A and B are shown apart, each in its own frame.
Chain A
């Protein structure tokens, strides 16, 4: 693609600057679609295709999920989401009584679904190096069949972060929070990928 130049140094410099220019154009395009701070962090750190995980991030995610009681955290996160962002209830019309916080917190269908969601996240924990493929099918399901606005994934992530923070207390340091939120951001992004 680069024009023939007698001097190989100049050739390399030209290729490098063309490649940089192309990346900046793509970057700018990505930025304008960037709605959340987490995806900002993701896009700036992944100029190519793969998400890069540090050893700290990997071990933090494995650690948090291995110690988690899915049947407590899942229901807690989903009920919190339905209470804090009541418009998310639109997807649970057949779940029965969601009329107030107490009803939501006591609803067995909500609890069951919360656990299901956590098991879905578990898949990602076990496949951190290929979240895109891992969630492709679920992405199609949420788009084509369930018709869930992908913004809701972020709302649930925020609630899950808060539930895990409350569970871990001081152990949920800023660095642990960053790793956890990065993982959720990549999952959220993967779940939104098949929407069209």
Chain B
């Protein structure tokens, strides 16, 4: 299920519309993930505060979306483009890759909330494919 030209165009066009709110998208998606899928909190036991809008959540939401932005720039070769991030997640963070799907779902939910008119089914499928490809590239170095 690799990205074709149409998908890439749709992703880039949608990103152009939403990137201004990237930080908000990231932190909302992250807080939703922590609330709706509480097992994901295990990765953040070192945070003093996991509530929505708290400093660590806002900061980390921005970091995650920075990664997404980087992936969009490297959309033609995600494996090469996300090599460093993959190594980070594989060897240092050791996040179970099942969680990439969970966070991706929450990113899509936030996009639907913030951009209901723009997040059409066509944009939804392109973004879902893109986040899937991103997740696979991120898991590349795991084993």
Residues of A near any B CB (own CB < 8 A): 37-38, 40-41, 79-80, 83-84, 101, 105, 158, 161-163, 165-170, 172, 174-175, 177-178, 181
Contacts and interface: CB of A to CB of B under 8 A. Distances in A.
Contacts of B84: none
A83 B39 contact: no
B124 A84 contact: yes
Nearest to A79: B121
Contact of B121 (A37, A105, A165, A168): A105
Nearest to A81: B121
Nearest to A104: B121
A181 B106 CA distance: 12
Contacts of A41: 37-39
A172 B34 CA distance: 15
A74 B108 CA distance: 19
B102 A37 contact: yes
A75 B53 CA distance: 35
14 contacts: A37-B37, A83-B124, A84-B124, A101-B121, A162-B124, A166-B116, A167-B116, A172-B109, A174-B31, A174-B32, A174-B36, A174-B52, A177-B109, A181-B36
Contact of B35 (A83, A167, A170, A178): A178
Given A83-B121, A84-B125, A170 B113 contact: yes
B141 interface: no
Q: How large is the interface on B (under 10, 10 to 19, 20 to 34, 35 or more residues)?
A: 20 to 34
Interface string B101-129: 01001001100110010010110110010
Interface in B29-79: 31-32, 34-39, 52
Given A174-B52, A177-B36, A166 B122 contact: no
Contacts of B125: 83-84
A84 B123 CA distance: 9
Contact of A165 (B31, B109, B128): B109
A165 B112 contact: yes
> Which of B36, B37, B52, B102 has the most A CB atoms < 10 Å from its CB?
B36
B72 to A, nearest CB: 19
A80 B119 CA distance: 11
Contact of B122 (A83, A163, A170): A83
A101 B36 contact: no
A24 B45 CA distance: 24
Contacts of B108: 162
Contacts of A80: 121, 124
Contacts of B34: 174
A177 B105 CA distance: 12
Given A79-B121, A80-B124, A83-B122, A161 B39 contact: no
B135 to A, nearest CB: 14
